[in-house]
């Protein structure tokens, strides 16, 4: 089977609606696709309602988390597959993350306006169907001609990690995110653990701590990982008894990566499904 376990829709920062996402997944020849929008379940129902025959939908999420290491906190993303979306402690935690992100985006726009840039919060807000985030601000900057491309917004002059207008956001402590997902019957998998271009990556010791806390898998085959990184992560997964997954981390036209660029092997997918007690994969 062709299995892609990490994609985004307009329910977070993708450009395909959830219905377009499943249609495109079928057209790309996938047998299984997971919808994993950031910090919410907003795309699930539309994707399920639009599911084409022959495609299986894995309902998931990608949680913005942070790990405490000696002397520093490292941001990371945690995929969660098939959790019960109504589990109250998880719902409450995600609502806080989204609220803080909207609040942060508002403060970033206000700082740009104070510097004389012609943005408006209403216009940035209107770009998002889910929570407003930095990608929506970046698109606004492009359309206003303030930067040539979205990538140029994620720099020191604007909203890159060391940028003039960067503000940190609330992250869920990763061990809490793992236990919330497990308690909701979901299956936590560490997203792009070796994506060093996105910032600092966590140590192997932290991954071991996550495994002991209930992490089920590592997303080894990801577009941001080179061959050496994949080899090292495969070794780490074997040492810790973790399932190895693969995905495109598709964002529609926002990023060049196509659906199915990287995939998950059948036994790994079956292990993920077997570990879930929240909701079931869906097929039309």
What is the contact surface with Zn ion in residues (CB under 5 A)?
Answer: 62, 77, 191, 249
* Residue closer to Zn ion (CB basis): 13 or 31: 13
* Residue closer to Zn ion (CB basis): 77 or 182: 77
* Residue closer to Zn ion (CB basis): 191 or 259: 191
* Residue closer to Zn ion (CB basis): 172 or 191: 191
Nearest distance from C-beta of residue 191 to Zn ion, angstroms: 5
Nearest distance from C-beta of residue 201 to Zn ion, angstroms: 12
* Residue closer to Zn ion (CB basis): 117 or 170: 170
Nearest distance from C-beta of residue 217 to Zn ion, angstroms: 14
Nearest distance from C-beta of residue 223 to Zn ion, angstroms: 10
Nearest distance from C-beta of residue 107 to Zn ion, angstroms: 23
Give the CB-nearest residue to Zn ion: 77
DSSP the chain: --EE--B--TTTT-SS-HHHHHHHHHHTT-SEEEE--BT--TTHHHHHHTPPTT-EEEEEEEEEEEEEETTEEEEEEEEEES--TT-HHHHHHHHHHHHHHHHHHHHHHHHHHHTT----HHHHHHT-SS---HHHHHHHHHHTTSSSSHHHHSSTTTTSTT-TT------EEHHHHHHHHHHTT-EEEE-STT-GGGS----HHHHHHHHHTT--EEEEE-TT--HHHHHHHHHHHHHHTPEEEE---BBTBTSSPPTTSS---HHHHHHHHHH--S---EE-
């Amino acid at each position: 089977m062709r299995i892609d376990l990490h994609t985004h829709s307009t329910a977070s920062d993708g450009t395909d609606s959830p219905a377009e996402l499943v249609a495109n997944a079928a057209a790309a020849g996938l047998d299984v696709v997971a919808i994993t929008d950031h910090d919410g379940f907003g795309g699930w129902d539309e994707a399920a309602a639009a599911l084409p025959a022959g495609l299986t939908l894995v309902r998931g999420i990608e949680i913005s988390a942070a790990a405490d290491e000696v002397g520093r906190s490292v941001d990371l993303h945690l995929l969660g597959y098939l959790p019960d979306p109504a589990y109250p402690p998880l719902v409450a935690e995600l609502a806080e993350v989204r609220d803080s992100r909207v609040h942060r985006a508002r403060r970033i726009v206000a700082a740009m306006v104070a510097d004389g840039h012609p943005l408006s919060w209403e216009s940035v807000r209107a770009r998002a169907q889910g929570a407003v985030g930095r990608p929506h601000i970046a698109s606004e900057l492009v359309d206003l001609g303030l930067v040539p491309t979205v990538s140029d917004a994620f720099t020191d002059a604007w909203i890159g990690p060391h940028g003039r207008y960067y503000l940190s956001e609330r992250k869920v402590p990763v061990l809490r995110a793992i236990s919330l997902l497990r308690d909701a019957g979901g299956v936590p998998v560490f997203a792009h653990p070796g994506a060093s271009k996105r910032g600092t990556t966590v140590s192997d010791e932290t991954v071991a701590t996550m495994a002991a806390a209930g992490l089920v898998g590592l997303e080894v085959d990801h577009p941001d990982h080179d061959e050496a990184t994949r080899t090292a992560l495969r070794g780490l997964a074997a040492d810790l008894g973790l399932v190895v997954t693969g995905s495109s981390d598709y964002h529609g036209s926002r990023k060049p990566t196509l659906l199915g660029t990287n995939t998950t092997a059948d036994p790994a997918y079956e292990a993920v499904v077997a570990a879930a007690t929240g909701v079931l994969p869906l097929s039309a």
